[in-house]
């Protein structure tokens, strides 16, 4: 503990209220209040502000008791070097419990100062009054706090029994003081922990093990096999790769390079053990070993239930949920011998300090935890984990390191709000009274040790059992025979407390059950509760809420009048949130009336309005309380409607907001807050109470609307539909599927220039092997090398023209590796026969084409033969290039020879036999190649012929867009009828096109010129660099290509008709298709809709419409899968915007769900794709662009 006196003084002199520090703080003292001679007041509290505004409320309390203005008070929270150790900021303790000593300290200071003033002014204490720190008496005698303190260092010991102000005298507490932090937050001036920068700071990222979200079991900390440091050697500014047990981190000078290193680092892990099936929470929780702990056992429960007229055993299930901080956790650490500083967003600075001491094997006094604000976490998220990570990395590199967890890591590893199973055995007596209530709750524990302790082996990964399932486990109703048992059990996956801990699940059961009892008894549910509710403040609240909402008694459920598919209902629930160690304390009382609208066709539930009543006792800051109620209502509605962590059998699978959605603006209910005036009562915690009745109120409202009880969260459309169907015995109506379209004959689309050869080629293909052997002996000869010609040989105009032609031919697209020198080769091209590496076509004499004469170049371009006589493979599209005119080939040669020479050996191809035998290519050429130059078609326009020359020649569109036969030759009979390249489908350019709207000349032109066609989509994958390269061509050439390509399409539809069709398609696919994958629908809504939803708010870049996108209408899902996996990092132009890659955020199953959903939703007339999951797997593992 450092002395807070020294550095903070402005004028000499101070008054502190202190108490001796507890253990671990090295015999010092803890300060609660400090007043300095300039009259300013600093208040210290061990809790932290989690975004709920307690900083402001604590300031109000101190200002009130000290009689100073609110503006004079600075509240310091959670810095271990100066604030008292008051444990973790949990439950609703801050105002109710932790604020008490602070209030006492402030009052004590006031008493002391007034006594001093009385002496100094020679007046009686009773004759003095205080105004903002100025103590005044009669005759204008006055002295300020500052003057009383000036020059002295006064320290008073905190007492427990201090007379504090009467509530009736309050002037600051009870007022809605604006929060002090908002102006800075709204202008980017507040420093969150994410914004800490210290001199010479480096950036770190961690690489987590594959057992994401699991923290108990012998494999934890012992699963790492190897880290290949060489795999990140090329990362600029990489400082270190750190490995300790299963802990891995990378450190770099720049953040983006740490990101790259973490993604690129090759790590091998042992296989991860299998988890229980968490899709079936009930079975998993029942199977988890537990110890019963009886909390109450009153009356003869067993006999009472046995005698019940109507037994009613019920089971309620709560899923795993996430804290879901909007900002993934972040920390900065500066490790030095004897002095370790960390900047952290922790909820529990002192506990974290002890963890760090254990991790580092250093005494606590050497460690200073500075707490800064972070994103609201509502429980324990990864804030402590990342602080420990940062400390380990800083220790390894000897410099300060900032570590930012990724969204995926925060989602996967944050200790989850745990699943819970509640069972009620009970029933009704014949008179409708409650026979008995036997309640059992199963809550897997939530210790969640700081991750680095486990990963490094500092703490054994043994699951610990805590007693946390008992919050509000005893219902608020006075049942005669009642037993409540908490089954304490170890965690199944990593879990920790989350707003309300076990109280919301327990209350979900209590409040659903009493609603069921009321229904069975034929009594209005509120009236029924009031029969058993003995607490007067509770009764007042329930009545007030019923009145505010205009509750009409409903002893018998009436079928509501349906409005189309919609039925409406309303439900009630009440809770007194009992928190902290059993039996605990009550926080604010809370009651809800929720109105819902249920769509019986889609299963969508919307909570339309909530009347939320609360009795909070004295409200320090009423606006603050109101905002807390709003926040609780919205967050808990989100939890009830849509929140559930998904798992596979090894780990958490929800790693972004599509897989774990939270509520969005359109779904936020109207909220009517009712705050009971109880300013004469002690203040109560308001941070969680209003969350507690949520799920039951909504479930009860859904029952009111539909007549079906839902006893498991969340109330997703699929769960509601299943429930409704179960109740009504109606099978889901299958969506009518359009029959698959019969494959059109591909012969319609003949290459207009391929007529001369068909029959011979087909026959010859049968004996290709023979031809191949024969051709191997044909006398091809090498063409002699030349000295590299000087660039000055050609005119600038020729070179410029050659540059355009190189662009048209996409030379650089294939002959350049990612981030490599232009045209220096080495790029791997995947073919069905193996991998071919593009060659170096820079004029380097030894490794490139520097020694090639023009005749050698021309022969290669026209006949596919290397200067040395070797055959080239037709991955090099000489079959197209052959059509190029002499003048153009010469210009191209000139351009290539005029470029800088780059020395770069081309790797050897890896082709399977017999394709590795180059001489066979001679036979191939005999079959499939015509080396003649382009011959115009006199019956067509000049523009058409120009387009044909460009498309069929250097443009070599057919190389990708025509299907190939078994020997890899383009099928002449299906010219441009669609092919494959590098894992992407090159869609048909003919009227075989899958596009829902036929291509027109203008759309083709727009696409080739800008990379985007409003009616078809944007160029991605291998097509993006093609369009980019075409930028070198003049508009009239692009137009000519469009004219030529349009001639393959049926051009029956005019421009207005195309756009009208587009609008129609967008509208008809706007409503959610019920039969489409609900998981896929959520992924779309969370990840895709922001940029793709029709009519969404504009964002930088284009907004490609999925209903019109050719890829969604194709026969194969490949392009859709590719673009989801890899995104669009290099669009044709930045105006189109960028698409992120989702390969590291979604697993194969999720992408398959998404792809299947998109097909169903946006191409409803097309057959469902099959084998999607396998296609995703394949695409993920092939060479990607």
Partner 1 sequence: MTQSTIRLTVNGRIHDIDAAADTALLYVLRNDLELNGPKYGCGLGECGACAVLIDGVAARACVIPIEGCVGRDIVTLEGLGSRCNPDPVQQAFIAEQAAQCGYCLNGMIISTKALLNRTPHPSEADVIEALRFNLCRCGAHIEIMRAAMRAAGHLVGAANR
Binding residues for ligand FES, rule: CB under 6 A, are 51, 326, 375-376
With binding defined as CB under 8 A, does residue 1091 bind partner 1? yes
Which residue's CB is nearer to ligand FES, number 665 or number 913?
A: 665
CB of 657 to ligand FES, least distance (A): 8
Residue 827 φ then ψ, to 5°: -75, 130
634 binds, among partner 1, ligand FES, none (CB under 5 to 8 A by kind): partner 1
Query: Exactly one of 187, 200, 274, 939 binds partner 1 (CB under 8 A); which one?
Result: 187
Give dist(CA 598, CA 641) in Å, integer: 12
Of the ranges 373-381, 594-602, 862-870, 926-934, which one interacts with partner 1 (CB under 8 A)? 373-381
CB of 370 to ligand FES, least distance (A): 21
With binding defined as CB under 8 A, does residue 325 bind partner 1? yes
Count of residues that bind partner 1 according to CB under 8 A = 85
Instruction: Tokens for 136, please give them.
Output: 């005044």
With binding defined as CB under 8 A, does residue 530 bind partner 1? no
Which residue's CB is nearer to partner 1, number 149 or number 235?
A: 235
Q: Measured at the alpha carbon of residue 1080, what is the angle toward residues 1076 and 1082, in degrees to the nearest 5?
A: 110
Q: 976, 1048 in Cβ contact below 8 A?
A: yes
Which residue's CB is nearer to partner 1, number 236 or number 555?
A: 236
- DSSP H helical ranges for 744-885: 758-766, 768-775, 796-808, 811-815, 854-863, 878-881
Of the ranges 382-390, 425-433, 1030-1038, 1082-1090, which one interacts with partner 1 (CB under 8 A)? 1082-1090
194 binds, among partner 1, ligand FES, none (CB under 5 to 8 A by kind): partner 1
808 binds, among partner 1, ligand FES, none (CB under 5 to 8 A by kind): none
With binding defined as CB under 8 A, does residue 413 bind partner 1? no
Which residue's CB is nearer to partner 1, number 22 or number 178?
A: 178
Q: Measured at the alpha carbon of residue 1111, what is the angle toward residues 1107 and 1112, in degrees to the nearest 5?
A: 45
Chain residues 598-627 in contact with partner 1, contact rule CB under 8 A:
623, 626-627
529 binds, among partner 1, ligand FES, none (CB under 5 to 8 A by kind): none
Query: Exactly one of 282, 366, 672, 905 binds partner 1 (CB under 8 A); which one?
Result: 672
With binding defined as CB under 8 A, does residue 255 bind partner 1? yes
Instruction: Tokens for 123, please give them.
Output: 């007046």
Residues 791-820, one symbol each (x = binds partner 1 by CB under 8 A, - = not), give ----------------------------x-
- DSSP H helical ranges for 336-417: 349-360, 383-397, 407-413
Q: 12, 5 in Cβ contact below 8 A?
A: no
Chain residues 855-894 in contact with partner 1, contact rule CB under 8 A:
none
CB of 407 to ligand FES, least distance (A): 7
Which residue's CB is nearer to ligand FES, number 444 or number 1086?
A: 1086
E-state strands within 534-653: 566-579, 585-599, 605-615
Give the rounded distance of the alpha carbon of 882 from its chain centre: 51
Nearest residue to 204 (alpha-carbon basis) of 76, 55, 331? 331
Q: 442 forms bridges with which residues in the sheet? A: 421, 487
Q: 1087, 1142 in Cβ contact below 8 A?
A: yes
CB of 1027 to ligand FES, least distance (A): 27
* Positive/negative CA dihedral, 918, 922, 925, 930: positive
DSSP H or E stretch at residue 1156: helix 1148-1162
With binding defined as CB under 8 A, does residue 1067 bind partner 1? no
Query: Exactly one of 156, 668, 817, 1061 binds partner 1 (CB under 8 A); which one?
Result: 668
CB of 194 to ligand FES, least distance (A): 11
Of the ranges 527-535, 628-636, 644-652, 880-888, which one interacts with partner 1 (CB under 8 A)? 628-636
Question: For every residue of 167-188, which 3-state class applies, written as one string?
Answer: HHHCCCCCCCCCCCCHHHHHCC
Which residue's CB is nearer to partner 1, number 157 or number 1135?
A: 1135
672 binds, among partner 1, ligand FES, none (CB under 5 to 8 A by kind): partner 1
Give dist(CA 176, CA 624) in Å, integer: 7
Instruction: Tokens for 814, please give them.
Output: 């294939």
CB of 382 to ligand FES, least distance (A): 16
Q: Measured at the alpha carbon of residue 582, what is the angle toward residues 576 and 587, in degrees to the nearest 5?
A: 30
CA dihedral 928, 934, 939, 942 (to 10 degrees): 140
Query: Exactly one of 10, 115, 125, 184 binds partner 1 (CB under 8 A); which one?
Result: 184
CB of 224 to partner 1, least distance (A): 25
With binding defined as CB under 8 A, does residue 662 bind partner 1? yes
Chain residues 936-965 in contact with partner 1, contact rule CB under 8 A:
none
Contacts of 562 (CB under 8 A, 6+ apart): 600
With binding defined as CB under 8 A, does residue 673 bind partner 1? yes
Give the residue carrying structure tokens 């896929």: 1080
CB of 190 to partner 1, least distance (A): 7
635 binds, among ligand FES, partner 1, none (CB under 5 to 8 A by kind): partner 1
Residue-wise DSSP of 873-887? PTTS-HHHHTTS-HH
Chain residues 37-66 in contact with partner 1, contact rule CB under 8 A:
50-53
Of the ranges 389-397, 458-466, 666-674, 882-890, which one interacts with partner 1 (CB under 8 A)? 666-674
Instruction: Tokens for 360, please give them.
Output: 């580092």
Q: For the chain, what is the radius of gyration of the CA atoms? A: 37
Which residue's CB is nearer to partner 1, number 269 or number 1138?
A: 1138
Q: 986, 1118 in Cβ contact below 8 A?
A: no
Which residue's CB is nearer to partner 1, number 307 or number 1091?
A: 1091
CA dihedral 1096, 1101, 1103, 1109 (to 10 degrees): -160
Which residue's CB is nearer to partner 1, number 324 or number 1017?
A: 324
36 binds, among ligand FES, partner 1, none (CB under 5 to 8 A by kind): none
Question: For every residue of 1093-1131, which 3-state class applies, written as one string?
Answer: CCCCCCCCCCCCCCCCCHHHHCCCCHHHHHHHHHCECCC
Query: Exactly one of 200, 665, 736, 1035 binds partner 1 (CB under 8 A); which one?
Result: 665
Question: For every residue of 954-1005, which 3-state class applies, written as one string?
Answer: CCCHHHHHCCECCCCCECHHHCCCCEEECCEEECCCCCCCCCCCCCCHHHHH
CB of 326 to ligand FES, least distance (A): 4
CB of 420 to partner 1, least distance (A): 21
Of the ranges 175-183, 218-226, 467-475, 865-873, which one interacts with partner 1 (CB under 8 A)? 175-183
Which residue's CB is nearer to ligand FES, number 796 or number 1090?
A: 1090
938 binds, among partner 1, ligand FES, none (CB under 5 to 8 A by kind): none
Nearest residue to 997 (alpha-carbon basis) of 921, 1108, 886? 1108
Q: 50, 91 in Cβ contact below 8 A?
A: no
Query: Exactly one of 738, 912, 1090, 1183 binds partner 1 (CB under 8 A); which one?
Result: 1090
Which residue's CB is nearer to partner 1, number 731 or number 1097?
A: 1097
Which residue's CB is nearer to ligand FES, number 51 or number 669?
A: 51
Of the ranges 322-330, 421-429, 839-847, 1147-1155, which one interacts with partner 1 (CB under 8 A)? 322-330
Chain residues 1094-1133 in contact with partner 1, contact rule CB under 8 A:
1095-1101, 1129
230 binds, among ligand FES, partner 1, none (CB under 5 to 8 A by kind): none
Instruction: Tokens for 41, please give them.
Output: 């007041």
Residue-wise DSSP of 12-71? S-EEEEEEE--TTSTT-EEEEEEEETTS-EEEEESS---SS-HHHHHHHHHHHHHT--GG
């Amino acid at each position: 503990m450092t002395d807070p006196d020294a550095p903070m003084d402005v004028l000499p002199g101070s008054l502190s209220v202190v108490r001796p520090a507890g253990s671990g703080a090295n015999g010092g003292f803890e300060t609660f209040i400090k007043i300095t001679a300039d009259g300013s007041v600093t208040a210290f509290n061990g809790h932290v502000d989690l975004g709920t505004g307690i900083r402001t409320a604590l300031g109000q309390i101190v200002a009130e008791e000290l009689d100073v203005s609110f503006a004079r008070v600075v509240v310091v929270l959670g810095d271990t070097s100066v604030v008292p150790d008051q444990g973790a900021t949990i439950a609703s303790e801050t105002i109710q419990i932790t604020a008490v000593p602070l209030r006492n300290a402030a009052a004590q200071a006031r008493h002391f100062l007034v006594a001093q003033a009385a002496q100094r002014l020679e007046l009686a204490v009773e004759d003095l009054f205080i105004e903002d720190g100025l103590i005044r008496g009669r005759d204008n005698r006055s002295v300020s706090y500052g003057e009383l303190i000036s020059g002295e260092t006064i320290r008073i010991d905190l007492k427990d029994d201090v007379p504090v102000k009467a509530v009736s005298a309050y002037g600051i507490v009870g007022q809605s003081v604006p929060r002090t932090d908002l102006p800075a937050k709204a202008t980017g001036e507040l420093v969150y922990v994410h914004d800490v920068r210290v001199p010479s700071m480096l950036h770190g990222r961690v690489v987590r093990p594959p057992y994401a979200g699991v923290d108990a079991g012998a494999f934890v900390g012992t699963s790492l096999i190897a880290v290949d440091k060489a795999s990140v050697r090329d990362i600029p500014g990489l400082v270190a790769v750190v490995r300790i047990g299963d802990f891995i981190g990378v450190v770099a000078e720049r953040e983006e390079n740490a990101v790259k290193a973490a993604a690129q680092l090759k790590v091998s892990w042992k296989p991860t053990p299998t988890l229980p099936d968490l899709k079936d929470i009930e079975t998993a929780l029942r199977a988890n070993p537990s110890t019963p702990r009886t909390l109450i056992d009153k009356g003869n429960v067993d006999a009472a239930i046995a005698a019940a007229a109507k037994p009613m055993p019920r089971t309620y299930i709560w899923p795993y949920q996430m804290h879901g901080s909007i900002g993934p956790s972040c920390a900065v650490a500066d490790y030095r011998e004897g002095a370790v500083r960390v900047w952290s967003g922790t909820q529990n600075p002192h506990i974290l300090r002890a963890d760090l001491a254990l991790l580092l094997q250093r005494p606590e006094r050497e460690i200073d935890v500075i707490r800064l604000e972070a994103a609201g976490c509502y429980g324990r998220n990864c804030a402590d984990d990342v602080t420990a990570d940062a400390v380990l990395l800083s220790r390894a590199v000897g410099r300060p390191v900032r570590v930012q967890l990724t969204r995926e890591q925060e989602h996967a590893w944050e200790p989850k709000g745990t699943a819970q199973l509640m069972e009620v055995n009970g029933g009704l007596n014949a008179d409708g009274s409650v026979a008995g209530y036997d309640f059992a709750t199963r809550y897997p524990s939530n210790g969640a040790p700081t991750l680095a302790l486990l990963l490094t082996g500092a703490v054994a990964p043994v699951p610990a059992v805590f007693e946390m399932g008992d919050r509000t486990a005893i219902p608020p109703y006075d049942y005669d025979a009642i037993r409540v048992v908490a089954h304490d059990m170890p965690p199944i996956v990593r879990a920790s407390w989350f707003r309300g801990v076990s109280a919301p699940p327990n209350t979900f059961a209590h409040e659903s059950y009493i609603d069921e009892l009321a229904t069975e008894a034929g009594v209005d549910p509120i009236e029924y509760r009031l029969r058993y509710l003995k607490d007067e403040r509770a009764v007042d609240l329930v009545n007030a809420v019923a009145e505010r909402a205009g509750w009409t008694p409903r002893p018998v459920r009436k079928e509501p009048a349906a409005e189309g598919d919609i039925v409406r209902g309303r439900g009630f629930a009440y809770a007194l949130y009992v928190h902290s160690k059993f039996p605990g304390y009550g926080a604010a009382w809370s009651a809800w009336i929720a109105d819902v609208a249920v769509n019986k066709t889609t299963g969508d539930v919307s909570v339309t309005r909530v009347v939320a009543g609360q009795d909070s006792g004295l409200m320090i800051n009423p606006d603050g309380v109101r905002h807390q109620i709003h926040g609780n209502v919205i967050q808990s509605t989100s939890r009830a409607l849509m929140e559930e962590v998904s798992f596979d059998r090894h780990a958490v699978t929800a790693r972004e907001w599509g897989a774990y959605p939270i509520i969005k603006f359109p779904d936020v209910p109207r909220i009517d807050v009712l705050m009971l005036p109880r300013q004469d009562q002690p203040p109560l915690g308001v941070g969680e109470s209003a969350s507690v009745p949520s799920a039951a109120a909504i479930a009860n409202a859904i029952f009111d609307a539909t007549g079906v009880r839902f006893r498991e969260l969340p109330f997703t459309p699929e769960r509601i539909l299943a429930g409704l169907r179960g109740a009504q015995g109606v099978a889901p109506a299958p969506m009518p599927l359009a029959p698959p379209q019969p494959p059109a004959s591909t012969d319609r689309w003949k290459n207009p220039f391929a007529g001369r050869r068909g029959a011979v080629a087909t026959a010859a293909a049968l004996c290709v092997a023979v031809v191949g052997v024969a051709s191997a002996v044909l006398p091809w000869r090498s063409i002699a090398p030349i000295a590299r010609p000087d660039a000055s040989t050609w005119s600038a105009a020729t070179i410029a023209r050659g540059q355009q032609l190189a662009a048209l031919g996409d030379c650089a697209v294939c002959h350049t590796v990612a981030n490599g020198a232009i045209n220096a080769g080495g790029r791997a091209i995947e073919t069905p026969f193996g991998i071919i590496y593009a060659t170096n076509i820079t004029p380097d004499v030894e490794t490139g084409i520097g020694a090639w004469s023009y005749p050698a170049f021309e022969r290669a371009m026209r006949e596919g033969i290397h200067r040395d006589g070797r055959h080239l493979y037709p991955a090099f599209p000489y079959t197209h290039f052959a059509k190029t005119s002499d003048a153009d080939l010469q210009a191209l040669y000139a351009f290539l020879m005029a470029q800088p020479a780059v020395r770069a050996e081309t790797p050897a191809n890896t082709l399977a036999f017999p394709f590795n035998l180059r001489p066979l290519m001679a036979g191939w050429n005999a079959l499939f190649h015509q080396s003649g130059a382009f011959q115009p078609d006199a019956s067509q326009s000049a523009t058409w012929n120009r387009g044909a020359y460009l498309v069929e020649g250097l443009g070599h569109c057919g190389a990708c867009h025509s299907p190939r036969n078994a020997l890899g030759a383009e099928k002449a009979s299906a010219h441009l009828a669609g092919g494959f390249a590098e894992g992407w489908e090159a869609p048909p350019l003919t009227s075989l096109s899958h596009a829902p709207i036929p291509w027109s000349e203008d759309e083709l032109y727009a696409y080739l010129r800008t990379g985007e066609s409003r009616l078809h989509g944007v160029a991605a994958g291998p097509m993006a660099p093609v369009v980019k390269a075409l930028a070198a061509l003049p508009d009239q050439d692009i137009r000519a290509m469009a004219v030529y390509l349009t001639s393959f399409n049926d051009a029956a539809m005019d421009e207005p008709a195309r756009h009208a069709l587009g609008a129609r398609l967008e509208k008809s696919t706007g409503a959610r298709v019920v039969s489409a994958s609900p998981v896929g629908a959520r992924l779309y809504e969370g990840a895709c809709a922001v940029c793709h939803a029709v009519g969404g708010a504009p964002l930088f870049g284009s907004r490609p419409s999925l209903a019109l996108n050719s890829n969604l209408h194709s026969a194969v899902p490949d392009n859709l899968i590719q673009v989801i996996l890899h995104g669009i990092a290099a669009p044709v132009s930045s105006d189109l915007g960028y698409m992120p890659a989702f390969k590291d955020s979604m697993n194969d199953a999720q992408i398959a769900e998404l792809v299947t959903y998109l097909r169903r939703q946006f191409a409803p007339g097309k057959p469902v794709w099959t084998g999607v999951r396998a296609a995703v797997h394949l695409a993920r593992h092939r060479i990607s662009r």
